[in-house]
Amino acid sequence: MRDYFKNNLFSYNRRKSISVSIGNTAIGGDNPIRIQSMTTTDTMDTNSTVNQAIRMINTGCELVRVTAPSINDAKNLKNIKNELNKKGYNVPLVADIHFTPSAAEIAAEIVEKVRINPGNYADKKKFQKIEYDDISYNDEIERIYDRVSPLIKICKQNGTAMRIGTNHGSLSDRIMSRFGDTPLGMVESALEYLRICEDHNYYNIVLSMKASNPLVMVHAYRLLVEKLNNSNLKDYPLHLGVTEAGEGEDGRIKSAIGIGTLLDDGIGDTIRVSLTEEPEFESPVAKVLVDRYLNRNNHLKIKPPSNINFSPFKYEKRESDELLDIGGDNFPIVISNLSNLEKINNVELENLGITYDPKSKKWERSDTSPDYIYVGDCIDHKEVNYKLILNYTTWIKEKSNKNYYPLLSLNEFSSIDLNLVSDKINFLIINSSDLESVKNIQIPENFVLILTTNNEHYMPDIRAFFMKNHKIKNPVILSKNYDLSYSDKFIIHSSTDIGSLFIQGYGDGIFIGNQSSNNKEIKKINSLSFKILQAARVRVTSTDFISCPSCGRTLFDLQETTAMIRERTDHLKGLKIGIMGCIVNGPGEMADSDYGYVGSGKDKITLYRGQDVVKRGINFKYGVDELVNLIKEDGNWIEP
């Protein structure tokens, strides 16, 4: 048995895979991690698709995917390819196929790669529970064999590559009936097709396991790697992506947590960041993710623990003792950093959603106000009645205030009289390199650890710290200070580093910062912290939007609609709203949503309550109002 994770938890080694040719480029093997994206234009509109593809290529897209929902769309791929070649662009094209094998067979003779979805290529999803015995299940496999074999033969004859792309949202009723709505079901869905391909001696294959939930996606890819490792199947390259990630920061954060966690594990040969934005904006974000790993194998060496108490395939929250509102069963806390400011007044606090009511003489906070504020050595905050963290030497002078708590370095902790600390709660900052020192000291129960590292390989290094110190039950805050201004790079790096740990069950809080004392950046970082927790699904503070990136199948303005829905419903804390361009993955990916808004025709949408259709054929211009009315009817509306 080959255990990939046992050998790769503590050092960066990119997973070895076979090299798959895609036209004039290749994926896997010793090739760089490739970046791809997908057009959103009508595939029958050759000029628009070509022009959009060129914009994508010029921003770093190395493979251009185009939807081909019909035979005519598949045929028009030839015109698109010819026009791109005339203009000097020879980037490989990928045909995206759902439901229509005949379109796939046509496309496979034109483009360099065909993507099929095993959930709907030979099956249909009707959300039906079907009981199969082994004989009837094998009969279904034979049916699939007959359905997919013609495509395999065409691909083999034309040198066309294939992506077998499983989507969590479109698992077939057959797979759901046997394996459930699980990562294992996703993996088995792809392996069924993979075995058929290998039976035809066809190996020019890439695999993917996409989901809108980063945790499901990570578990599915890890399980796929382990299944391939312990089978007679070849080690195929993997395409990474989070489906329906959304727009703006939300889309970047969710993508970084899912894709970044796997890249940190050395998994992934090509990626797509799916954003509900123009597709040319996706590749630069993907490049920020990929560029971190160009020299990652030079990271500081991580010493493995003697015993590995970690499962890559399931979520287990680390147990910690409760200390005031930190640890135990509490939601992870957020600490904001105002220590670079000379004075803290109402303006700085209002940026964090903290306001003073002169009538009640109370400080009030919003759902996204930090739980604690680190002020360091700043003492000009006398009028602020809030939970503040001060450096120990400053706290000693101010300790009479019941809402002030000390932060100690390891040297201070080792040298002072521990009777001279807060009897409520104290904070101890520890670097992962302090591991041996931590082993030799007893940390009192009233201390919260703030854990950081200087290792570029941040997530695995912190993960290793938890493995080596599994007996420590003190709450742990995950912390990192970046030498970056607030940007896509800052968002992606912090989401990858810290968000990836939360989806693996580690962390009782988050404390991130940068080198700026700019009030606007402090506000943005505070908001980012809450968004990371929400994307990791460990603390919900706003509406959760599951929003697809649009494609040629979308027949209404998805970006405009998403913005309108967000504007009207963003204050509905705890609700999940799915916004889907079409029926392909919509009902499945938003299966745990409270409400769904799904495209169903030209300028038409269908509203869902959970998985149940409530109203069909609504003009998208009135769809948002209808959605709000539905939420009101159900008693889930609150005035903003």
Establish if 102 belongs to a structural domain: yes
103 shares its domain with 36: yes
Instruction: Single out the residue in 489, 504, 535 at which a domain terminates.
Output: 535
Task: Give 489-498 pLDDT, tens digit per residue.
Answer: 999 999 999 9
Residue 411 scores a pLDDT above 60 = yes
Residue 1 scores a pLDDT above 50 = no
Residue 206: closest CA among 9, 72, 6, 31: 31
Q: Which residues pair with 29 in a beta bridge?
A: none
204 shares its domain with 224: yes
Q: Which residues of 290-304 are buried (b: 16+ CB within 10 A; e: fewer)?
A: bebbeebeeeeebee
Structure tokens at 68: 């081909």
Q: How far is CA 526 from the centre of its chain?
A: 19
pLDDT of residue 468: 87
pLDDT of residue 464: 92
Residue 426 scores a pLDDT above 50 = yes
54 shares its domain with 9: yes
Residue 378: closest CA among 398, 356, 352: 398
Alpha carbons 441 and 444: distance in angstroms, whole number: 9
Instruction: Single out the residue in 504, 535, 566 at which a domain terminates.
Output: 535
148 shares its domain with 248: yes
Task: Give 197-212 pLDDT, tens digit per residue.
Answer: 999 999 999 999 998 8
Residue 518 scores a pLDDT above 50 = yes
Alpha carbons 195 and 35: distance in angstroms, whole number: 27
Alpha carbons 319 and 491: distance in angstroms, whole number: 28
Which residue would you say has higher pLDDT here, 431 or 2? 431
120 shares its domain with 166: yes
Q: Which residues pair with 426 in a beta bridge?
A: 447
510 shares its domain with 626: no
Instruction: Single out the residue in 535, 559, 589 at which a domain terminates.
Output: 535
CATH number of domain containing 565:
3.30.413.10
Establish if 27 belongs to a structural domain: yes
Residue 11: closest CA among 288, 424, 297: 297
35 shares its domain with 108: yes
Residue 590 scores a pLDDT above 90 = no
Q: Which residues pair with 162 in a beta bridge?
A: 114, 205
288 shares its domain with 192: yes
Residue 606 contacts residue 600 (beta carbons within 8 Å): yes
Establish if 327 belongs to a structural domain: no
Alpha carbons 442 and 120: distance in angstroms, whole number: 57
Alpha carbons 169 and 243: distance in angstroms, whole number: 9
Establish if 375 belongs to a structural domain: yes
Task: Give 457-490 pLDDT, tens digit per residue.
Answer: 999 999 999 998 888 899 999 999 999 989 999 9
**Domain count within the chain:** 3
Which residue would you say has higher pLDDT here, 311 or 283? 283
Which residue would you say has higher pLDDT here, 120 or 129? 120
Establish if 379 belongs to a structural domain: yes
CATH number of domain containing 392:
3.20.20.60
CATH number of domain containing 49:
3.20.20.20
Q: What residues make up the domain containing 354?
A: 333-535
Residue 450 contacts residue 389 (beta carbons within 8 Å): no
478 shares its domain with 588: no
Establish if 323 belongs to a structural domain: no
Establish if 303 belongs to a structural domain: no
Alpha carbons 45 and 77: distance in angstroms, whole number: 10
347 shares its domain with 394: yes
Establish if 309 belongs to a structural domain: no
525 shares its domain with 554: no
Residue 567 scores a pLDDT above 90 = no
At 126, the pLDDT band (50, 70, 90 cuts) reads: low
Exposed/middle/buried for residue 603 (C-beta within 10 Å: 0-12, 13-18, 19+): middle
477 shares its domain with 358: yes
